[in-house]
A and B are shown apart, each in its own frame.
Chain A
Amino acid sequence: MITLVLVSILTFFIVQVLPGDPALLMLGTEGTPEVYARLRNEMGLERPLLERYLRWLLSFLQGQWGNSWRYSMPVRGLVARAFPLSLSLAFLAVGVALLVATPAGMFMAAKPRSFAARFMSVTTLVGLGLPQFWVGLLLIQVFAVSLGLLPAGGGSSPVSLLLPTLTLAIPRAAILSRFMRVGMADALKQDYIRTAKAKGVAEGTLFFKHALRNGSLAAFTVAGLQFAQLLAGTIVVEQVFGLPGVGQLLLNGVFQRDLPVVQAVVMVIVFLILLFDLAFDLGLGVLDPRIRYE
């Protein structure tokens, strides 16, 4: 709660401090002082800062999020449309990343000296180094332009989320598999594994049952962080694929100094992250009983 209030104050004042006036930005090189004055008045920019903040807070709490200055649409509608897309994209991307990274990381830990493991290790480095916009454009070029298999963008159908999901998943899978490998390798060196081995526990059980739970902790924690980060939208990928997600909404909001939109979007992001954080902590407790809350 305190976090939310603090964030709301911070966002509100940061947007104020930014150079560039929302009314000026709307008028561009055709503005005149009369038009400018009226626009500012309509936006309520003539009132004192504190009064504006309190007014905003009050109506926000009452569920009245006002109209966007840029799109002359209710902010709630804009937010309600952008978040489902970004949420599903975040979920898919981290999901795919985990699906790829878990077996890959496990394999690299189990057979560290094999050729395949070395190859994978190098691949993850490459995956880490690729800039996202480039990966996105490359995927469009291959799958949409050359092969004509998948749509080049747009967020209208589930199929069109495939390429953006892949773009987001590649670097995340690379990171996760490295965490997975380190975690597993570490777990396999633990005393309890040696004890288990000495007691004659089968290799497979040892690996999948005893080591996996401990070894995957780090990777899951990182996956959680990745998910939280993706909740705030993915500006680059949304731009490249023309997806109307949170990132675009926020970016345009900041560029146009569209305060009602920026403010609402940031609040929802922070709220979701706090919510997710709580859920994640509880979930981690299931995986690792040592950090369960009393």
Chain B
Amino acid sequence: MYKRMLFSVVVAMITILLVGGPGLAQVLNIAIPQDPDSFDPVKTVAAATGEVAFNIYEGLVKATPQGEVEGALATHWTINDTGTVYTFYLREAFFHDGTPVTLDDVVSALNRARDPKIAVRAGELSMIKDVHPIETGVQIELHEPNGAFIYTLAEVYASIYPAHALDLARRPVGTGPYQLQEWVPNQGLELRRFDQHWSGKIPYFEQANFMIIPDENSMVLNLKAGRVNLIPRLEVAVLHQVENDPNLVILSSPMNLVQVFSINNARPPFDDLRVRKALALGTNREEILHGAAWGRGTLLDSALSPSMASFYNDSLHEVYPYDPQRAKELLEEAGQEDLQLVLTLPANYPLHVQAGELVAEQWKALGIQVDLQIVEWGTWLERVYTQRDYDVSVIGLAGRLDPHAILVRYTTGNSRNFFNFSNTRYDELIRLGLKTVGSERREVYLEAQEILAQELPGVFIMDPPQIAAMTRGVQGFKNYPTYVVDVASLYK
């Protein structure tokens, strides 16, 4: 009797396993270290939000893996002769709540994004004079021609959502290929495929879970145990744990992040170009690349990453090659043989701390007395970034789609210019860069980068590696120059 019952139970279980197995929904589990902050596109400031929100929201245009923009909710757009009026032609599309995207939604979302009373990044859309609907689409009028404008429309803050949406921060309503189902802070986010996406393409994965795993070692163990299928950004320090695993695939690409030893250009003796030059000449970047990033990054000579291929100036390698002898001479010339400096390092970024420790040794070899000061991130932001009360520090500056957004930081008086860098020709070029288009625009930014390489707001080190690790079988991973994970492109 018992035996027969046991037998039938076992048979039932096997049947469930066999029938249920292949029919189960396709789920992708992605590990990220941190929660988003808010899904209201005009309120969010955390990079972790953009990573997830890319799958939920879309703008009139969106970024491509090559760093260009292509039509999203707009099929295409035209620009008038003076370059000040953009006309966007909308396609038929639906929001996640089933309502159609209307001209009103587009106009109200863009107006909200540039309203300084509401939007955190309203300043970045300040080139817009007016947004108004026309019969077939939306017209955006600019104060003056602006080469960076079209790229700003691909940013999270320019996303389009319904004018009637109530609680975007927690319940985002977009048009993207995935919609947010649930968000449990410190645990994860569940995204569901949106079957009414305008492209008509149905992504392979029905469900995508972004799991919050702060510890990089357990991230790796979870990947090996199969609980996680994809780590889009793996810490270089744990790379060796996954490298030789035959069940995993590792993809490495530039991160579009510029690691730089920022020098306080306003504080003597660093206002003397000879001293800054000495620091640059005395920096062995090859050694930092190997010591801090296991040789995986890309060396930089400019404030742009090579991943911004259409604007990157690749002729600057020989501006200040490693030459400790020359560095010593320059320090002598400047009367700074006994130079002392404090090197402030942000404790929460192991890559920067290690780079700092390496450079400290290299500079000590020049006879400089280097005091290392490792500070917590909050302190770093307050002292180095805001008060600019420091000698030398190191940080990674995130890239954007358009060079202007990155390079404007180094203009005189810019509020993000914690280098206190100032150069008249450079300021002129950055202003000019906005007004020019086509290949001339590229020339402008090439020259601007050359000035940075020569005048040294800081010593540019590397674009750290972005390492994605995934279980074998997960395919279609696309690396973007912006901080996103494109779930819709993935399949198994």
Contact = CB atoms under 8 A, between A and B. Distances in A.
Interface of A: 18-21, 24-36, 38-39, 68, 70-73, 78, 81-82, 133, 136-137, 140-141, 144-145, 148, 151-156, 239-245, 248-249, 252, 255, 257
A241 B31 CA distance: 12
Q: Chain A at the B interface: mostly helix, strand, loop or mixed?
A: helix
Interface of B: 35, 37-38, 40, 43, 45-47, 116, 120-121, 123, 169-170, 184-188, 211-215, 217-218, 221-222, 224-227, 376-379, 381-382, 385-386, 395, 397-398, 415-416
B225 A144 contact: yes
24 contacts: A24-B385, A24-B386, A25-B378, A25-B381, A26-B46, A29-B381, A29-B398, A35-B120, A71-B35, A72-B170, A78-B185, A137-B221, A140-B225, A145-B225, A239-B215, A239-B218, A240-B218, A242-B187, A242-B215, A244-B185, A248-B186, A252-B35, A252-B186, A255-B377
B220 to A, nearest CB: 9
Nearest to A151: B227
B424 to A, nearest CB: 22
A90 B45 CA distance: 35
B261 to A, nearest CB: 14
A35 B123 contact: yes
B46 A152 contact: no
A93 to B, nearest CB: 18
Contact of A242 (B37, B170, B212, B415): B212
A32 B123 contact: yes
A144 B227 contact: yes
A148 to B, nearest CB: 7
5 cross-chain pairs, A with B, having the tightest CB-CB distances, nearest first:
A20-B378, A244-B187, A244-B186, A72-B38, A144-B225
Contacts of B382: 19-21, 24
Given A34-B116, A244-B185, A140 B221 contact: yes
A242 B35 contact: no
A33 B415 contact: yes
Given A24-B385, A30-B45, A33-B415, A153 B222 contact: yes
A244 B213 contact: no
Given A154-B187, A154-B188, A242-B213, 20 more contacts: A19-B379, A20-B382, A21-B382, A24-B378, A25-B378, A25-B381, A26-B46, A30-B416, A32-B123, A32-B416, A35-B121, A36-B386, A144-B225, A145-B224, A152-B222, A239-B214, A242-B211, A242-B214, A243-B187, A249-B185
Contacts of A156: 187
Contacts of B43: 72
A242 B212 CA distance: 7
Contacts of B416: 29-32
B170 A73 contact: yes
A70 B35 contact: yes
A39 B120 contact: yes
Contacts of A140: 218, 221-222, 225
B123 A34 contact: yes
B45 A27 contact: yes
Nearest to A143: B225
Contacts of B227: 144, 151-154
B185 A29 contact: no
Q: Which of B123, B170, B381 has the most CB of A within 10 A?
A: B381
Q: Which of B47, B218, B379 has the most CB of A within 10 A?
A: B218
Contacts of B185: 68, 71, 73, 78, 81, 244, 249
Given A19-B376, A21-B378, A26 B37 contact: yes
A137 B219 CA distance: 11
A240 B398 CA distance: 28
A148 B247 CA distance: 14
Q: Which of B43, B188, B213, B215 has the most CB of A within 10 A?
A: B215
B379 A244 contact: no
A72 B213 contact: no
A144 B221 contact: yes
Contacts of A136: 218
B457 to A, nearest CB: 14
Nearest to B167: A72
Contacts of B217: 137, 240
B90 to A, nearest CB: 30
Contacts of A151: 225, 227
A144 B228 CA distance: 12
Nearest to B43: A72
